[in-house]
A = this chain, B = another copy of it.
């Protein structure tokens, strides 16, 4: 098992860090994700449904940054978030091992819904791979009927129209 002694890594290995970028006032939330074999298809690029997963990972981490975890929303508040509609443009195929930065910008908040603009950019050259609008509804976890967003969450995002 001494093989591991040969691996020389910096204290934090940037190429696989799924970190939250520094949150500056005017910039959207960013999450880094890596393209693995599981994400690719026989054309050698990320399968088109994969981008939806990456976008949801980023929204989930955005929400976690606001103090909400999806499982406690469901288990304690009986709430879930579901996608109501989405519109995506695929601009450049992400490839195996690409490191992508997924942005999350909240563009509208309703009483029981949130609209997001999201982009996926390749970190190495900044190429825009995919961008989209995603409309999310807050629902009761058991019935999936619309349900008001938690008051505290609404307060956190009060600055958004």
A93 in complex: contacting residue of B3, B18, B26, B144, CB < 8 Å = B144
Nearest B residue to A96, CB-CB: B71
Q: Which residues of chain A (52-106) have a CB below 8 Å from chain B?
A: 52-53, 56-57, 60-62, 64-66, 69-72, 74, 80, 82-90, 93, 95-97, 105-106
| From B19, B25, B41, B84, contact of A5 by CB (8 A) | B25
Q: List 24 A-B contacts (CB under 8 A).
A: A1-B26, A1-B160, A2-B26, A3-B159, A3-B160, A5-B23, A5-B25, A6-B156, A6-B157, A7-B29, A11-B22, A16-B61, A18-B34, A34-B57, A37-B70, A38-B56, A42-B95, A42-B96, A48-B56, A48-B82, A70-B97, A71-B97, A83-B90, A84-B89
